[in-house]
A and B are shown apart, each in its own frame.
Chain A
Amino acid sequence: MLTLQFIPYDEIEDLNSDQRIRKLLRMVKDEKIVLMQGRLKPEEETSLIETTMGGINKMFKGIEMCTIYPEEKGIEILSKLRKGMAQFLVGHREGITIIGPANIIKEIRRDPNKIQLLTTIPSPRKSRSAKTKKNVKKAKKRRR
């Protein structure tokens, strides 16, 4: 089953860069595709890549990520200034960021006007509750 998790900007607004990255990665490692309102700052994006690289292991192969935001081409200087001021005051709320685990999202194909997520169905992972149920069954058998 594929889980899409939406994160409104309000949810990460008060977090510092480290906390934001940790929150996003925690969800992605839990095999969720995160749809985040707004976008990370450029330095947060590189930090996210750095942290991802540090966390790669047998189970976690990395992330696929894509950010879409309105193009600034043709915007007047005054509007740009207004936009810059708004960003300073309320953060990078515009646009949307998609982040998912690389074992589920094989590729994100992005053209200016469309996004395609090429996904694979993840192999069923045994949840903690399933493991506990199994252990209880084993214990019952032993008792018999």
Chain B
Amino acid sequence: MIKIIKNFIKRILNELFKKRGHIKLGIYGPPNSGKTTLANRICKDWLGEEMGAVSKVPHETREVQVKEKVTIKYKNKELSFKLIDTPGITTKIDYEDFLKYKISEKKAKERAKEATRGVIEAIKWLEDMDCVIVVLDATENPYSQVNITIIGNLAARKIPVLIVANKIDLKKAKIKKVEAAFPQYDVVGISAEYGNNIEEFYESLYRLVK
């Protein structure tokens, strides 16, 4: 009962702040799908600075990163939001996987520990989001349980979702497969790294947040 009342008050407060332009836009997805690369692309395009470090080693982002105010301009209209980049959500973390990237055992263990905390933190932030961009690697199978769990959770909380099929610059990328996996959502294929199709992304983002 207390939880229901708490959620009700939270929803009212969220609605109030949303109307004043304090929209919280979260970036979620599995590890190494390009969440921080996309966050950097948005920040570079509209703020002229990057948001966080990226690397080929999974779980590079192990803490939630926040940019308090990002304003984008689309067709003479302005859109402001708080951008929240989250660590990749996964169901397993093995420090030995990091050793392949020539990381010392001590650092790999540390990274694994921080990554587990990062996943917990990312999940905790879920309920605070107003809108979410789910970034999926278009070269990977979209039918993974992590993707289904994230999107199912957002749907249960009635949080608007935009699915980004990232890495379309790669030959193996299959946007159609992502679209087929989540037919009820707006899917936009981009390359966050090279900026391919980024205009369409901003258009979809505007539709999501407005």
Q: Give the B-binding residues of A (Cβ under 8 A).
A: 41-43, 45-46, 49-50, 52-54, 56, 61-67, 73, 102, 108-112
CA of A49 to CA of B123, assembled, Å: 9
Show 14 residue pairs from A and B whose CB-CB distance is below 8 angstroms, ordered by the A residue. Answer: A42-B149, A45-B149, A45-B152, A49-B119, A52-B91, A53-B117, A62-B94, A63-B92, A67-B148, A102-B91, A102-B92, A108-B144, A110-B141, A111-B143
Number of A-B pairs, beta carbon distance below 8 Å = 71
**For residue A47, which residue of chain B has the nearest CB?**
B123
A42, A46, A108: the one within 8 Å of B155 (CB): A42
B91 contacts which chain A residues (CB < 8 A)? 49, 52, 62-65, 102
B112 contacts which chain A residues (CB < 8 A)? 56
State which residues 72-118 of B face A: CB under 8 Å. 89-94, 112, 116-117
Q: Give the A-binding residues of B (Cβ under 8 A).
A: 89-94, 112, 116-117, 119-120, 123-124, 126, 141, 143-146, 148-149, 152-153, 155-156, 183
| Given A64-B91, A64-B92, A111-B143, A53 and B119 contact (CB-CB distance below 8 Å) | yes
CA of A110 to CA of B93, assembled, Å: 20
B117, B153, B155: the one within 8 Å of A45 (CB): B153
CA of A42 to CA of B89, assembled, Å: 15
CA of A59 to CA of B126, assembled, Å: 29
**For residue A71, which residue of chain B has the nearest CB?**
B183
CA of A112 to CA of B148, assembled, Å: 12
A41, A52, A54, A108: the one within 8 Å of B145 (CB): A108
CA of A47 to CA of B66, assembled, Å: 23
CA of A43 to CA of B124, assembled, Å: 11
Q: Are A56 and B116 within 8 A (Cβ)?
A: yes
CA of A126 to CA of B29, assembled, Å: 38
**For residue B149, which residue of chain A has the nearest CB?**
A45
B89 contacts which chain A residues (CB < 8 A)? 49
CA of A66 to CA of B143, assembled, Å: 9
**For residue A109, which residue of chain B has the nearest CB?**
B141
B117 contacts which chain A residues (CB < 8 A)? 53
Q: Are B94 and A73 within 8 A (Cβ)?
A: no
Q: Are B92 and A61 within 8 A (Cβ)?
A: yes
Nearest 7 pairs of A and B residues by beta carbon:
A62-B92, A102-B92, A42-B156, A53-B116, A61-B94, A42-B152, A110-B143
Q: Are A62 and B120 within 8 A (Cβ)?
A: no
A45 contacts which chain B residues (CB < 8 A)? 149, 152-153
A108 contacts which chain B residues (CB < 8 A)? 144-145
